[in-house]
Amino acid sequence: MVKVTLPDGTKKEYKDNTTIGEVASNIGSRLGEKALAGNASGVLVDLSYPIKEDISLSVITEDTEEGLEILRHSTSHIMAQAVSHLFPDVKFGIGPTIENGFYYDFDLHHSLTEEDLKKIEDEMARIIREDIPFKRTEMPRDEAIKKMESVGQPFKAELIRDIEDDKVSFYTQGDFVDLCRGPHIQRTSKVKAFKLLSVAGAYWRGKETNPMLQRIYGTAFFTKAGVDKYLKFLEEAEKRDHRKIGKDLDLFSFHEEGGSGLTFWHPKGARIRSIIENFWREEHFKRGYDIVYSPHIAKINLWKTSGHWNFYRESMYSPIDVDGQEYILKPMNCPFAVLMYKTKLRSYRDLPLRWGELGTVYRYERSGVLHGLLRVRGFTQDDAHIFCTPEQLENEILGVIELAQFMLTSFGFKEYDIELSVRGKGEKEKYIGRDEVWEHAENALKIALEKKGLKYARMEGEAKFYGPAIDIKVKDAIGRGWQGPTIQVDFNLPERFDVNYVGSDGFHHRVVMVHRTVLGAMERFVGCLIEHYAGDFPLWIAPIQMRILPITDVHIDYAKKLQAQLLLKNFRVECDTSSSKINYKIREGTLGKIPYLLIVGDREMKSGAVAVRSRKKGDEGVFSIEDFIKNVETEILQKK
């Protein structure tokens, strides 16, 4: 007999080799029907898994995230089987689940089209209707390599060579066999609703020197309503695509001849960025920060001392020769702040020092992952480095959290998820520094979060190489998460650079550094803003806040005088003096997502007024110029 301990602490006894599925059905018929897999003492297993020893067990059902992931992984196998039927010479890569779906990589002589996706979907539907069981088998590692080579699957053979276990597992459904750890659904008929979404190119294992494969993306849910809801979400996300909106509103561009992943800011986009940066500076000055600027390159030895050369080299550009010495484009700003700190001896009375920097950094990204403003090779961080004593650390972290919350709220982000990124267990080689300083840093971050009453998820293995961090993921208008503020405690750079202060006892003590951003990269943040607002920015951020539309040429002089008056009030205002009809001007202003269109004709010219048309309310009627200015100033002040 074996003992099974359930999540509520209940213990049950079963005969040896009783399966997880049988246990689920024994607990309750409804649980048996909804069961997909099991978590047996921390290991995910199939329902057919035979219990041979005492275990703790939780049954994974359809209404869980784990269950949905298992469904999607199984659907990726069904997709691969369908592809093998339609293209028998296919070579298989990998087919994992991802957020909201799955993908599978294929090596094919044929270039897949939208029509092919429909054929693959039809074949998948046929396989699902056949109600084919998923069966798990194991094979010695060396034998599995030979088998994959013999059936012409070199990518699978390569994957098996990287597995250290003596045995590897395969899953079979009908005539299809795939290398997989599992678990899977019991039968193909469990898939009720799926959709193939797109095809893209992907280098094998993400390396540009490897073969280019074809990647099919798809999604699956337990109901058709789930698929329909997700497709609607994708449609809304496509409307908000910052690359399209950025082009339509003339905000920025990218140029292959200028270099992939490098942003060219057009006047309107630069205006948005300037508004953000000016607001950022003002709020930092209010909180006791000073602003610094640092170079774009530095000698390679600086990066060796900091640890970046050993731990971050893959994201750094190759050295460039300057007068016979090697220099590197900076991937980070932090070593520069350290050098500035060390220009003189600092006392505990000088601390904390809070130095903000809108510093442009350069990091290598593969061309295949570049994505508009969201993934670039050169970007400006809203960086800051705080130098403080260990006793000041907690208050400094609290101050950064409060600033981050204020900044996010100001830009319209009300919801976010918080992660505490810490070292992974058994991965000390990935990090620098002593255990005790890591524990001190992690505790300081944890205490600050708890004092603020903020819920967070502990993320093992997600720490930076030099210290743990608080990472805040903001949610946009349609619920997507974006990387936002980050707060990192660092005892290690001060150690490597011998950064100290003179304490009240007259002795030298090691300073503590806090690295932080409250927005992130300017490029990514602007891209996030564009998609959050779908380009329809609130008045205080809009690059053009209002456009004056004279009805005929007779009204142009009055329109220009009004423009001059509004410019003196620091409003961002244009005047459309084209010969176009007024309806066309209104249409152009509306498409340009300009918050206010001010129409002036005979009536307005005589009374010294404006007819106001807003994006929020449409036709608002006629206002005196003074009343309009007062209303707009209030709206800007309230950041609505």
pLDDT(410) > 90: yes
Residues 6+ apart with CB under 8 A from 268: 249, 250, 251, 543, 544
Residue 467: per-residue pLDDT = 85
Residue 242 has what pLDDT? Answer: 96
pTM: 0.85
The 10s digit of each residue's pLDDT in 9-30 is 999 999 999 999 999 999 999 9
Reported as a single tens digit per residue, the pLDDT across 175-203 is 999 999 999 999 999 999 999 999 999 99
**pLDDT value for 429:** 76
The pLDDT, as a whole number, for residue 369 is 83
Spatial separation of the C-alpha atoms in residues 148 and 152, rounded to whole Å = 6
Per-residue pLDDT, 430:
79
Cα 389 to Cα 501: distance, rounded to the nearest angstrom: 8
- pLDDT bin (cut points 50, 70, 90) of residue 434 is confident
**Residue 317 pLDDT:** 94
Q: Which of 214, 216, 186, 202 is nearest to 123 (CA)?
A: 216
Across 588-600, average pLDDT: 96
Q: State pLDDT tens for residues 49-93.
A: 999 999 999 999 998 999 999 999 999 999 999 999 999 999 999
Query: Is the model's pLDDT at 332 over the cut of 80?
Result: yes
Instruction: Centre a 10 Å sphere on the Cβ of residue 273 and count the other Cβ atoms it contains.
Output: 21
Average pLDDT, the chain: 94
Tokens of 160: 């098996």
Q: How far apart are CA 389 and CA 253, in angstroms?
A: 44
- For the cut 80, the answer to whether the pLDDT of residue 251 exceeds it is yes
pLDDT grade, residue 341 (50/70/90)? very high
Q: Is the pLDDT of residue 537 over 80?
A: yes
Q: Is pLDDT above 80 for 640?
A: no
CA distance linking residue 618 with residue 640, whole number of Å? 17
Residue 409 confidence (pLDDT) above 90:
yes
pLDDT, residue 461, reads: 86
For residue 542, name the pLDDT band (cuts at 50, 70, 90).
very high
Per-residue DSSP letter, 368: G
Cis status, amide bond into 352, omega within 30 of 0: yes
Cis peptide before 183 (omega within 30 of 0): yes
Sign of CA dihedral 439, 440, 444, 450: positive
Q: pLDDT band at residue 491, thresholds of 50, 70 and 90?
A: confident
Is the Cβ–Cβ distance between 495 and 487 less than 8 Å?
no
Q: List, for residues 159-174, the tens digit of each pLDDT value.
A: 999 998 999 999 999 9
> Which band of pLDDT confidence, cut at 50, 70 and 90, is reported for residue 432?
confident
Does 431 have pLDDT greater than 90? no
Q: What is the DSSP letter of 333?
A: S
pLDDT exceeds cutoff 90 at 586: yes
Question: What mean pLDDT do residues 578-588 have?
Answer: 95
Does residue 438 surpass a pLDDT of 90?
no
Among residues 457, 278, 284, 411, which one has the least CA distance to residue 356? 284
The predicted pLDDT at position 441 comes to 87
Q: What is the pLDDT of residue 488?
A: 92
Domains of the chain with bracketed CATH: 2-61 (3.10.20.30), 67-239 (3.30.980.10), 268-533 (3.30.930.10), 546-637 (3.40.50.800)
pLDDT of residue 420: 93
Please name every residue paired with 91 in a beta bridge, in sequence order, or none if there are none.
107
> Which region among 273-287, 300-314, 599-613 has the lowest average model confidence (pLDDT)?
300-314
Residue 541 DSSP code: T
Percent of the chain with pLDDT over 70: 100
**Length of the chain as a residue count:** 640
Of the two residues 636 and 433, the one the predictor is more confident about is 636
